[in-house]
Amino acid sequence: MAQGATRARRYSLGFREITKRFPTGTGTTEDAVWRDFVKPTLPSLSRGAVDICHYGVTEIVNNALDHSDTDHFLVAVAMNPVLVRIQVLDSGVGIFAKIAREFDLDDEEHAAFELSKGKLTTDPQRHTGEGIFFTSRMFDRFLIASGRLHYLHSTTMGDWVLSSAHLRRGTLVTMEVNPSTRRKVRAVFDEFTTGEDDPSFSVTHVPVEMVEVGEENLVSRSQGKRVMARMHVFKRIVLDFKGVRSIGQGFADEVFRVWAGDHPHSELIAVNGNRDVERMIARALDTARTS
């Protein structure tokens, strides 16, 4: 991220980079940050890249204004012929710590997992909780660093990854996209709806591996309940078992028989499970059919 005076420029690794500090008080708006600062530094983007950057900047800056509990934030924009990188940094309470506190969650890892589902907000009167979910899926690479966690979504990796970070205060959001991308904002929204008859955010894609702690497997009903918490707000739920080595009978039964039986209007879809995972899911489904 760029250092130095406001609007100071530097060149490294082919990047043209510019940084500016903004107050969170009266007078700063997300639209103005985009219109007056970010957009003028990005002169040669595809229509899709412009729309993606516009959406991402306004959503993440709005989060900094409304949720960071600090008096200022920084925005940095860097670009070379193959990459646009936009970063928003605040020195507030930290996104994972705030979510964990507001929702009385076990820890920041739990907060990150809930964030990955979508429709999570600490201010439901003013926010839908959709901004980070959709922003992360529009950019080629989307990273949140806060406290000791990195929270990554990549179009090439196809899932979220948690790892150690060391940001003492606040939240750093990094958004990267190819300046020539053909991805469309509308297409990303459409991917998470159930069709033209229902254009609302009704589909979620959940990386189940995030529930695993260390070398633990997914064996318990409590882990199943954690995975399915708040899922009733979606009509279609894609549970992605990529990276999950095995699941236990209690976990599978809680998700695919108990929860599914209690929520017949929600469709559960399991993807990327290995043979052991698929066998345990099939067993739970068979029990549900015969009970």
Which of 75, 187, 200 lies closest to 137, judged by CA? Answer: 187
Same domain, 104 and 150: yes
Residue 288 to residue 282: CA distance in whole angstroms: 10
Do residues 252 and 109 share a domain?
no
pLDDT at 163: 74
4 lies in a domain?
no
**Whether residue 197 has pLDDT greater than 70:** no
Beta strands in the chain (DSSP E): 9-12, 15-23, 72-80, 83-90, 141-154, 160-177, 203-207, 236-240, 267-271
CA distances from 286 to 188, 257, 268 (A): 34, 9, 15
Domain contains 135: yes
| Judgement on whether residues 179 and 35 belong to the same structural domain of the protein | yes
Look at residue 84 and tell me if it is in a domain: yes
pLDDT for the residue 215: 56
223: in domain: yes
Band (pLDDT 50/70/90 cuts) for residue 196 is low
Query: Could you tell me if residue 251 is inside a domain?
Result: yes
Q: Is the pLDDT at 97 greater than 60, yes or no? A: yes
200 band by pLDDT with thresholds 50, 70 and 90: confident
* Confidence at residue 3, expressed as pLDDT on a 0 to 100 scale: 41
Confidence of residue 186 (pLDDT cuts 50, 70, 90): very high
Task: Report the distance separating Cα 23 and Cα 107, nearest Å.
Answer: 30
In a domain, residue 1? The reply is no
* One domain, residues 215 and 272: yes
- pLDDT band with cut points at 50, 70 and 90 for residue 155: confident
Work out the mean pLDDT of the chain and round it to a whole number: 87
Q: Is the pLDDT of residue 6 over 90?
A: no
Domain boundary among 170, 186, 202: 186
Q: Is residue 91 part of a domain?
A: yes
CB 116 within 8 A of CB 210: yes
| Residue 61 shares a structural domain with residue 75 | yes
Q: Are residues 176 and 157 in the same domain?
A: yes
The Cα-based distances of 268 to 2, 178, 195, 278 in angstroms read: 44, 33, 17, 14
Same domain, yes or no: 65 and 106: yes
From 124, 153, 186, give the residue that closes a domain.
186
For the ranges 27-41, 126-140, 159-173, which has the lowest average pLDDT? 159-173
Q: Residue 66: what residue type?
A: D
Specify whether 15 is located in the same domain as 71: yes
Q: Residue 263's domain spans which residues?
A: 192-290
Is the domain of 166 the same as that of 213? Answer: no
Same domain? For 261 and 163 the reply is no
Say which CATH number the domain at 20 has. Answer: 3.30.565.10
- pLDDT higher for 43 or 53? 53
Query: Which pTM was predicted?
Result: 0.86
pLDDT (mean) for 170-187? 95
**250 and 128 part of one domain:** no
How many domains is the chain partitioned into structurally?
2
Q: Which of 60-74, 179-193, 256-270 comes out lowest in average pLDDT?
A: 60-74
The residue-averaged pLDDT of 254-269 equals 96
- Residue 21 pLDDT level (bands cut at 50, 70, 90): very high
Domain edge (last residue) among 186, 215, 243: 186
pLDDT tens-digit map of 204-214: 999 999 888 65
221-257 residue pLDDT tens: 999 999 999 999 999 999 999 999 999 999 999 999 9
In this predicted structure, the answer to whether residue 39 has a pLDDT above a threshold of 60 is yes
